[in-house]
Amino acid sequence: MGNRYKTTGKVFRSILVTLPMFLIILLFTTHGNLAFGSGADALAWAVSAAFFTLIFYLMLYKGQTDKYRAIAFGVSAVLFVVGFMNNLIEIRGSISYDAGNIYSCDIPFCHIVSTMVIIPAAVKQTIIFGGNLQGGFASIAEMLVIVAVAALLLGRAFCSWGCFYGGWDDMTSRIRKRPIIRRINTSFKYFSFAMLILMALWSAESLIPQYCNWLCPFKAVTEGERIVDGLTLAKNIIFYTLFIGLVVVLPILTKKRIQCATFCPMGALLSLFNKINIFVVSPDREKCTGCNKCVAKCPLMAMRKNHVPSMTCAKCGRCVDSCPTEAMNFRIRGTSAKVSASTARTIFLYLAFSFMVIFLGSCTQSGLAVIFKLIF
């Protein structure tokens, strides 16, 4: 009888805490406008709103963060690609681009481009990526503002909650139950900082976003440069090789998010914001038994030997979920004595999940709408 009351209370509390998030989901998935272009659009909105609400409710009710976050993150990453490609075909007539598209600015950009536009914008007052975005994409100014706010409020959590590419290696790193490659030098994660410096300087010097131009693995699943000569062939070979290697094969073999952990300049930039962010993941020393599960499970190779995450922690919550003694938890910096771990987690979840809905809600919706239009 006592247990039944406990469960009912937990369900009731979880529903109560989910309700405001439900309103946030409604606000950001409809943008205050419930007029849909077609039945498929309306159905896509209803399914994605229900999906995100259910995920948030389950995080609260089950008390697990990473498991449900990863479902939403992975599903959104795949649906983003579906919606993105469809959008490109509708707007530009092709998923591949050529020099003409570059000159007419018909190239969408993503948040990673911020790592390359900042120096030229500050020093030469030049925007080196003139992406002309239509059909539901944000403008470059909006994108920079949203990314800056996310970086300040969440630090590197954006890499586990908001990035529509991160879901890919998050998904592939979960395919195998156990890793085949167990020993990895965790210092590889600092290579992303070298990438950040190199890409920022090279792009500033050439006034071309060079990561997008040469190295982005996600060109393989979004838009590739049309092959017209040896140079464009070489670029495509690089895009596909990096995607297969860093996003598919190595994450499967190591169970680590290799692309995000070692290669992405955006991840390095956001890691710097972790230094000033109020949300941290940290262990309760009294409860910690030193079992090292958190070190082994961290997909970003961010957990140090002393069980304190380094600045590259993306606040995915996997170490929190896998800690057998509940020692590891989300906390608000400097408030451990006053704010309980469960309150800190709920506040973090509210912010992180809101960014997930802002960044991934419309991707999920547009991908679903494409699928529903094909089916019905």
Residues that bind ligand SF4 (CB under 6 A): 281, 283, 288-294, 297-298, 300, 302-303, 307, 309, 313-319, 323, 325, 327-328
Angle (CA) 82 32 146, round 5°: 65
Shortest Å distance, C-beta 63 to ligand SF4: 15
Q: Which is nearer to ligand SF4, 136 or 324 (CB)?
A: 324
Shortest Å distance, C-beta 57 to ligand SF4: 21
| Whole-Å CA distances, 257 to 247, 250, 260, 305 | 7, 8, 6, 19
Shortest Å distance, C-beta 295 to ligand SF4: 7
**Residue 260 DSSP code:** I
Q: Which is nearer to ligand SF4, 235 or 307 (CB)?
A: 307
Shortest Å distance, C-beta 322 to ligand SF4: 6
Q: Which is nearer to ligand SF4, 55 or 314 (CB)?
A: 314
Task: Characterize the bridge pairing of strands 328-332 and 279-283.
Answer: antiparallel
> Dihedral through CA 98, CA 100, CA 105, CA 107, nearest 10?
-10
Distance CA 243, CA 89 (A): 22
Structure tokens at 27: 């606000």
Taking the CA atoms of 269, 275, 277 and 283 in sequence, report the sign of the dihedral they define. Answer: positive
**Residue 249 DSSP code:** I
Taking the CA atoms of 50, 70, 114 and 354 in sequence, report the sign of the dihedral they define. Answer: positive
In the numeric block, the tokens 């955006």 are attached to 266
| Whole-Å CA distances, 298 to 119, 176, 210 | 32, 15, 30
Shortest Å distance, C-beta 108 to ligand SF4: 28
Shortest Å distance, C-beta 291 to ligand SF4: 4
Q: Which is nearer to ligand SF4, 111 or 255 (CB)?
A: 255
Q: Which is nearer to ligand SF4, 79 or 270 (CB)?
A: 270
Q: Which is nearer to ligand SF4, 69 or 235 (CB)?
A: 69
Closest CA to 34 of 23, 45, 24: 45
Shortest Å distance, C-beta 75 to ligand SF4: 19
Length of the chain counted residue by residue: 376
Rg (CA), the chain: 21
Q: Which is nearer to ligand SF4, 30 or 343 (CB)?
A: 343
Shortest Å distance, C-beta 257 to ligand SF4: 9
Q: Which is nearer to ligand SF4, 59 or 79 (CB)?
A: 59
Beta-carbon count within 10 A of 8 CB: 10
